[in-house]
Amino acid sequence: MSLKKTVNVALGSRSYPIHIGADLLANAEILHEHIVSKQVLVVTNETIAPLYLDKLVDQLKVRFKVETAILPDGEKFKTLEYLSEIYDVLLQKRCNRQVTLVALGGGVIGDMTGFAAASYQRGVNFIQIPTTLLSQVDSSVGGKTGVNHPLGKNMIGAFYQPQCVLIDTAVLTSLPDRELSAGLAEVIKYGAICDKEFFQWLELNMDSLLARDNEALSYAIKTSCEKKAEVVSKDERESGIRATLNFGHTFGHAIETDLGYGEWLHGEAVSVGMCIAAELSSQLGWLPVSDSRRIKVLCQRAGLPVEKPATMKAADFIGHMKVDKKNITDTIRLILLKSLGKAVIYDCIDDSLIETAITKYGMKYS
Amino acid sequence: MSLKKTVNVALGSRSYPIHIGADLLANAEILHEHIVSKQVLVVTNETIAPLYLDKLVDQLKVRFKVETAILPDGEKFKTLEYLSEIYDVLLQKRCNRQVTLVALGGGVIGDMTGFAAASYQRGVNFIQIPTTLLSQVDSSVGGKTGVNHPLGKNMIGAFYQPQCVLIDTAVLTSLPDRELSAGLAEVIKYGAICDKEFFQWLELNMDSLLARDNEALSYAIKTSCEKKAEVVSKDERESGIRATLNFGHTFGHAIETDLGYGEWLHGEAVSVGMCIAAELSSQLGWLPVSDSRRIKVLCQRAGLPVEKPATMKAADFIGHMKVDKKNITDTIRLILLKSLGKAVIYDCIDDSLIETAITKYGMKYS
């Protein structure tokens, strides 16, 4: 077996391990101990299926009766309608409460499969095998599952933890450049919100990451999972500190909602969102302008967009942000930076502050 | 305020009170302490709305901003499609994570509102105000929420506990006879599975219950809630003893699935299910035939059907039961009676045993 690192997500009886290593898909017997009955349903999408589905099924079918469900690929299919297709297969194949669902794919597949597991027969087991950098460093840790609604992203879902996560870094070789960059947005986020040294490491190693150097990727993934696991362990249901993980996301969700899900990748929207949030942090006199600039430059070097879509005005952002689920009453809840590596929750009661940041940001850099 | 009895459902941090009394709807300030923000959404149906919605909203709007969602009435609307309508209202009204959902209606409204609360923004608060006897003694205790799938009842859902339950016995005056009887099926169940004395009390007081004597109804509701609360406290997620509450339900679900949801009321199907399960218990030499007979007679006196639908054969039951979610692997999990007042879980590996019970039962009494 290849070298394997393990990060433990400490959540009491819901704790689970994240195994990270090159070519772990060829060693899927790691999963056996987490599967309680003969029934396994692997959920994946049309892009991933031809690449890795057979490999995984071959590994599992030695011990289990394996069914598969293949969904179309993309955020726009993260809906109740396509979720229903997973339920349909589960029932057509007469899967009972002991079934284990396996999510083989990116964040969309992980979120949908996780919510299907949370809600099928009021809860069955599931395992995550994230195949994009974004899902490896973000959605595979912490148990947020769900689907989108036409009026808002991730509006329907559950907190539901997997039995384990298997991260095969070798699958990143087949990941399109654009998606690698989108994943790096979340990696940069961990540096920005809670680890200045990791941010500096990213500045030094961005070229290796883009060259898909396996050692650099493994380190970035492990560190990201550790950062997230630490926050999630303290606040599983996001009543406090976990909200800081949403740095850049409130602005980012506004972009995704405005353009329609799937136009921009999640990480791309988050990149612009982080740049605007950093601008606002500087505007409040917290974050030195030079550090706000470093965030923008690092995102740019990662191949990410750093300017808002030309079609969106400040008022469009504010309209969308007021229905974002992170909001409390009429204020807009933002995650800002007190300094590089230190995020805070900020309930903004003055829309004009946000308007200014968006407008100023656009003017200064464009 | 009218005389109020309270049953506590002990579930650690998820514990909640059930308040029982005549005319509690006119004293809905009991609910105030359980509502955390200004936003309240009352979910009800077209039958209940004209009877009680204004009364409740008038009580709540003194303190809260109250929105309403009115669904069509009936089990056949307990689907993902109609669940979506609740999400639509929540998002159109910009409800955030602090919203409280209030379920005003029978089991269908309670189950759907509970699941909407479990899944909206990954979980918001809810309160149950059950308006049928069935939902008062059954679905309002224990946190089972969900919707049906064309291939099976309650296949999609969550375990999710309300903040509190308010049972107004006065609303039973407007309940159709057929629904009163359906509720009595679950009341009889508690006697059959865990309390022989309560079963005897029901034999003595069935006429008072059918005459809607308030004192008799209050006693029956309180005792039923206590019995269920006791079982649920021991086994919230149905890994063991809670399954005994499904006495009559595996056969009953087969009837509901076969006829299509909504043809027979749930309690009616459970009544026939209990009679068949009692027959099978006698067939195994456990339950004296005279006690099996007592169950049938009590159900009949309660105005319930005790014969299976003429169109259904034993094989139809077995086909449906094999996809019932209570099943473990290929066996059919049944709840049977070791004696009157003592239920056991029985994993039946021999279909012919079930076939014989259904066939024999039909021949003997029809």
In angstroms, what CA-CA distances link B343 with A32, A289, B139, B284, B298? Answer: 35, 71, 20, 14, 18
The reply to whether A94 belongs to the active site is: no
B156 to A120: CB separation less than 8 angstroms, yes or no: yes
Q: Which of A119, A326, A330 has the highest number of chain B CBs within 10 A, making it the mutation to test binding with B?
A: A119
Query: Does A149 contact B37 at a Cβ distance shorter than 8 Å?
Result: no
Across A29-33, B155-159, B237-241, B307-311, least confident range: B237-241
Which whole-number Å values give the CA distances from A275 to A91, A181, A193, A278, B15, in the listed order?
45, 15, 13, 5, 44
Q: Nearest Cβ partner of B159 from A87, A123, A159?
A: A123
Share of chain B above pLDDT 90, in %: 76
Question: In whole angstroms, what is the distance from residue A219 CA to residue A133 CA?
Answer: 12
Cα separation, A215 vs B309, in Å, equals 67
Q: How far apart are CA A107 and CA A220, in angstroms?
A: 18
Q: Would an 8 Å CB–CB cutoff place A157 in contact with chain B? A: yes
- Pick the catalytic residue from B78, B153, B242, B294: B242
For residue B226, indicate whether it is catalytic.
no
pLDDT digits (tens, 9 = 90+) for B129-149: 999 999 999 988 889 999 999
Put simply, the answer to whether A87 touches B152 (Cβ < 8 Å) is no
The answer to whether the CB atoms of A329 and B38 lie below 8 A apart is yes
Rounding to the nearest 10 degrees, give the CA dihedral for residues B136, B141, B147, B153. Answer: -90
Spatial separation of the C-alpha atoms in residues A112 and A118, rounded to whole Å: 10
User: Residue A218: in which H helix or E strand, if any?
Assistant: helix A214-234
More confident residue, A91 or B214: A91
Residue B38 in this model has a pLDDT that exceeds 90 = yes
Is residue B1 scored above 80 in pLDDT? no
DSSP A110: H
**Closest CA relative to residue B298, chosen from B223, B361, B206:** B206
User: What's the sign of the alpha-carbon dihedral A274, A275, A276, A277?
Assistant: positive
Note the residue count of chain A. 366
Architecture per CATH, domain A177-365, reads as Up-down Bundle (1.20)
Cα A248 to Cα A193, A235, A333, A335, B152: the distances in Å are 10, 19, 11, 7, 42
Q: Contact B87/A121, CB-based, under 8 Å?
A: no
pLDDT-based confidence at B183, cuts 50/70/90? very high
Residue B149: active-site member: no
Report whether B112 contacts A173 (CB < 8 A): no
B231 CB-near residues (< 8 Å, 6+ apart): B194, B241, B242, B244, B245
B329 and chain A in contact, CB less than 8 A: yes
Q: Is A331 on the interface with B (CB under 8 A)?
A: no
How does residue B365 score in pLDDT terms, banded at 50, 70 and 90? Answer: very low
pLDDT tens for each residue of B317-334: 998 888 765 555 568 899
Which residue is listed with tokens 């006897």?
B133
Asked if B37 has any chain A CB less than 8 Å from its own CB, the reply is yes
The beta-carbon neighbor of B87 closest among A122, A155, A323 is A155
**What percent of the residues of chain A are helix, what percent strand, and what percent coil, each to the nearest 5?**
55, 20, 30
The pLDDT of residue B237 is 81
The first and second tokens of residue A114, run together, are 């996780």
Residues of A with Cβ-Cβ distance to B88 under 8 angstroms: 149, 151
Q: Please report the pLDDT score of residue B326 as a whole number.
A: 53
Quote the CA–CA distance of A86 and A71 in Å, as a whole number: 9
Average pLDDT across chain B, whole number: 92
Q: Could you identify the residue written with the tokens 């067939």?
A: B283
Number of helices (H) and strands (E), helices first, in chain B? 12, 11
Partner-chain contact B123 A237, CB within 8 Å:
yes
Helix-helix angle A177-194:A214-234, to 10 degrees: 50
HSE at residue A142, side-chain half, CA atoms within 13 A, is 29
Q: State the number of CA atoms in the 13 A half-sphere of B311 facing the CB.
A: 7
B266: Cα separation from own chain's centroid: 8
User: What is the nearest CA distance from A121 to chain B, expressed in angstroms?
Assistant: 5
Exposure string of B96-123, with b = 16+ CB inside 10 Å and e = fewer, is: bbbbbbbbbbbbbbbbbbbbbbbbbbbb
| Inter-chain CB proximity A329 and B96 less than 8 Å | yes
> pLDDT tens digits for A179-215?
999 999 999 999 999 999 999 999 999 999 999 988 8
- Contact present, B102 and B42 (Cβ < 8 Å): yes
Q: Has domain A5-174 been given CATH number 3.30.200.20?
A: no
Nearest neighbour of A87 by CB, restricted to B121, B123, B156: B156
B268 vs B177: CA distance, rounded Å: 12
Contacts of A115 in chain B (CB under 8 A): 119
Neighbouring residues of B350: CB distance < 8 A, sequence distance ≥ 6:
none
Domain boundaries, chain B: 5-174, 177-365
The segments of chain A whose pLDDT lies below 50 read 1, 365-366
CB pairs under 8 A between A and B: 95
Question: Which of A96, A160, A323, A326 best probes binding to B when mutated, by most B CB atoms within 10 angstroms?
Answer: A96
- Phi and psi at B123, nearest 5°, equal 120, 115
Taking the Cβ of residue B143 and every Cβ of chain A, the question of whether any pair is shorter than 8 Å is answered with no
Q: Quick: pLDDT tens for B144-157.
A: 999 999 888 899 99
Best of A156, A236, A323, A327 to mutate (most B CBs within 10 Å, chain B): A156
Q: What is d(CA B183, CA B289) in angstroms, rounded to the nearest whole number? A: 25
* Alpha carbon distances (Å) from A106 to A30, A109, A267, B282: 20, 6, 12, 54
Q: Which two tokens stand for residue B334?
A: 């049944």
Pairwise CA distance, residues B310 & B59, whole Å: 48
- Element spanning A336, H or E: strand A332-339
Question: Is A34 considered catalytic here?
Answer: no
Q: Which pLDDT score is estimated for B364?
A: 52
Q: Minimal Cα distance from B98: which residue of A?
A: A328
CA B270 from chain centre, in angstroms, equals 10
Q: Residue B117 has which token pair?
A: 């609360």
Residue A282, C-beta contacts closer than 8 angstroms, at least 6 positions apart: A288, A289, A291, A292
Contact flag B123-A322 (C-beta cutoff 8 Å): no
CA angle at A362 for the pair A357 and A366, rounded to the nearest 5° = 155
- Please name the residue that has the structure tokens 């309209």: A319
What pLDDT is attached to residue A324? 61
